[in-house]
Amino acid sequence: MLRGSHQVRHSLRTFSSSAPHHAHVSNIGKQPIQFPPTVTLTPTTSPSHALAVKGPLGTTSIPLHPYTQLEFPEPQTLAVSVENPKEKKQRSMWGLTRTLIQNAIIGMTEGFSTTLYLVGVGYRAAIEDDPLGNREGWSGKRLNMRVGFSHQVFVPIPDYITATIINPTRIGISCTDKHKLGLFAAKVRKWRPPEPYKGKGIFVGNEQIRIKAVKKK
């Protein structure tokens, strides 16, 4: 009996209620950012905290929270950190800020691009002059698409989007801002979201859908 109690006593484990140190580290945020010599990163504090990113394709600015810390430990290397990683909000913004800066660097050097595929009988697209002209914020061009309606669909092209017709059913779009590129692609796609029965619609990039069988009565 004593031997059994001895075995039970030694099988017990102690647990600490405090979270391990690595729980307060952002796996994304802690990764240093490598940037090419063609990119200039300039932290600013007036009128607000931000990081100016200048590259061959232009200049953009990433807003920063006051608790965000930037360091350049080596040439062409940026390290992002926060004052108190134990604070949930700071820890979540740590990774997000690092991602936004990385995307800005890519956008100002290479840009982002994707392809829109028009899938369906008679579906086709062209780029033409916009009758409303080159308004502020717009390129003066628009997409003219036939996507299964009895009428044509027109989508004005913003001045920050570069659009080309690869062939009548493929539209190439590019932008220095990944978020804006995604918003424009979604705006075009909403006219004919891919449907799961015949596989028709406007597909973005490598988007795929699972084809469903038609239920017979």
**The domain that contains 150 carries what CATH number?**
3.90.930.12
CB atoms within 10 A of CB 95: 18
- Cα angle 56, 57, 62 (rounded to 5 degrees) comes to 100
| Contact of 205 with 114, CB cutoff 8 Å | yes
> What's residue 27's pLDDT?
85
Task: Identify whether 216 is part of a domain.
Answer: no
pLDDT one-digit tens code per residue, 130-140: 998 888 999 99
- Look up residue 16 and give its two tokens: 């600490």
Residues 170-198: what's their mean pLDDT? 96
Mean pLDDT of the chain: 88
- pTM for the whole structure: 0.79
Task: Identify whether 94 is part of a domain.
Answer: yes
> What's residue 217's pLDDT?
62
Task: Identify whether 105 is part of a domain.
Answer: yes
Q: Are residues 103 and 29 in the same domain?
A: yes
> What's residue 45's pLDDT?
84
| Residue at token pair 């007036």 | 46
In the predicted model, is pLDDT for residue 42 greater than 70? yes
Task: Identify whether 197 is part of a domain.
Answer: yes
User: 8-22, 45-59, 94-108, 159-173: lowest mean pLDDT where?
Assistant: 8-22
Of residues 63, 65, 39, 40, the one with CA closest to residue 51: 63
> What's residue 5's pLDDT?
44
Task: Identify whether 40 is part of a domain.
Answer: yes
Range of the domain at 56: 24-109
Buried b (16+ CB within 10 A) or exposed e, 39-74: bebeeeeeeebbbebbbeeeebebebeebbebeeee
Cis, peptide link before residue 47, omega less than 30° from 0: yes
Q: Which residues are bridge partners to 190 per DSSP? A: none
Sheet containing strand 201-204, strands side by side: 162-167, 170-175, 112-119, 201-204
pLDDT one-digit tens code per residue, 149-161: 999 999 999 999 9
